[in-house]
Amino acid sequence: MSADHLTGRSAVPSSTQGLAATGSPVTGDGDTRERGPVGGRAGKRASVLLLGLIVPTLILLAWHLSTASGFFRPSQLPSPVSVFAAAVDLIERGQLATHVLISTQRVLLGFLIGSLLGVVAGALLGLSRIADILLTPTVSALRAVPSLAWVPLLVLWIGINEDSKVTLITIGAFFPVFTTLYLGLRHVDRNLVEAARAFGLNGVRLLTTVQLPAVVPALFSGLRLALAQSWLFLVAAELIASSMGLGFLLIDSQQNGRVDRIILAIILLAVIGKTTDALLGIAERWAVRRWA
């Protein structure tokens, strides 16, 4: 039995290959299906994008009207124009790009390290019964520890340098990936695994051929949760004697009463977080088509 049979994929018949040569797309199960024109798909994506912008536009309009009418004082909620002016001021000072780049670097580095460790630990505990019994209670207990509780310990152990900030983000990224992969592997069809072993697939080959393809959707769900968690842990990480970054901008603006910069930092965190999640979503769709 080949890897294609074990993962539920079948070879494309020669007659179907002939149809593919004539221009009719062939799916993995041998069926031919007509695909819509490229322009139609692009138009659909544009429509979805425009619909997704409706609510942000309404929020922006309500924000403008509430500040212009005097419903909120500038010290409570500055106008969109004031927030834009604060962004321009930081850009002219050369500070805004630095804040964004440093925070993004910290998040991506912590996310990559935490995700890799989460995959390793999730695979180990999901595939090994002994490791599951020994380590799962401890890992589950550590997962319940609030993010800010790690800050004093990291300061004492690592100091107030960049490593402590990245380590805290790594902790935040680790648990979502570990949890989703661990649970996904524990629920892989046992009959499929036993059939693969009967045909000589074991160890790494069994993992990469049968088990990981079965949990690709769950793995990417964990990765997207880990990315969101990384941005959440960023603010806590930048509490550790930071002098740059969006978390620092939030704290510094609070101390100086700059509500416009606080709103700006929140908007930037939302926009950058959504952008990185969208990029990961593209990778997820590709991986699902490729392996799942």
Nearest to 150 by CA among 165, 138, 139: 165
> Which residues contact residue 206 at a Cβ distance below 8 angstroms, ignoring those fewer than 6 apart?
193, 196, 197
Q: Per mean pLDDT, which of 76-90, 149-163, 179-193, 230-244 is the most reliable?
A: 76-90
Asked if pLDDT for residue 2 goes beyond 70, the answer is no
Per residue in 65-88, pLDDT tens?
998 888 888 888 999 999 999 999
What integer best gives the mean pLDDT of the chain? 82
Report d(CA 265, CA 277) in Å as an integer. Answer: 18
How many CB atoms sit inside 10 A of residue 136's CB? 13
> Which residues contact residue 220 at a Cβ distance below 8 angstroms, ignoring those fewer than 6 apart?
280, 283, 284, 287, 288
Domain 78-291 fold: MetI-like fold (1.10.3720)
Asked if pLDDT for residue 62 goes beyond 60, the answer is yes
Q: Can you name the residues that pair with 26 across neighbouring β-strands?
A: 32
Residue 82: exposed, middle, or buried by beta-carbon count in 10 A (0-12, 13-18, 19+)? middle
Note whether 128 and 209 are within 8 A (CB): no
Note whether 193 and 213 are within 8 A (CB): no
Q: How much is the pLDDT for 129? A: 85
> Which residues contact residue 268 at a Cβ distance below 8 angstroms, ignoring those fewer than 6 apart?
99, 100, 246
Tokens linked to 85: 């002016």
* Helix orientation angle between 216-237 and 259-291, rounded to the nearest 10 degrees: 160
Of the chain, the percentage scoring pLDDT greater than 70 comes to 85
The whole-number average pLDDT for the span 149-155 is 86
Q: What separation in angstroms does the CA of 245 have from each of 101, 105, 189?
A: 8, 10, 45
Tokens linked to 66: 């509430």
DSSP single-letter state for residue 161: S
Q: Look at residue 106 and give its three-state secondary structure.
A: helix
Residue 250: exposed, middle, or buried by beta-carbon count in 10 A (0-12, 13-18, 19+)? buried
Could you tell me the pLDDT band of residue 198, with boundaries at 50, 70 and 90? confident
Of residues 155 and 9, the one with the higher pLDDT is 155
Q: What separation in angstroms does the CA of 207 have from each of 6, 60, 180, 271?
A: 12, 48, 16, 36
Per residue in 23-36, pLDDT tens?
344 444 444 444 44
φ/ψ of 32, rounded to 5, equals -105, 135
Taking the model in full, what pTM does it have?
0.78
Which segment of 135-149, 180-194, 213-227, 246-260 scores lowest on mean pLDDT?
180-194
Query: Rg for the chain (alpha carbons), in Å?
Result: 24
Asked if pLDDT for residue 112 goes beyond 90, the answer is yes
Which segment of 30-39, 46-55, 96-105 scores lowest on mean pLDDT?
30-39
Asked if pLDDT for residue 4 goes beyond 70, the answer is no
Tokens linked to 253: 């603006």
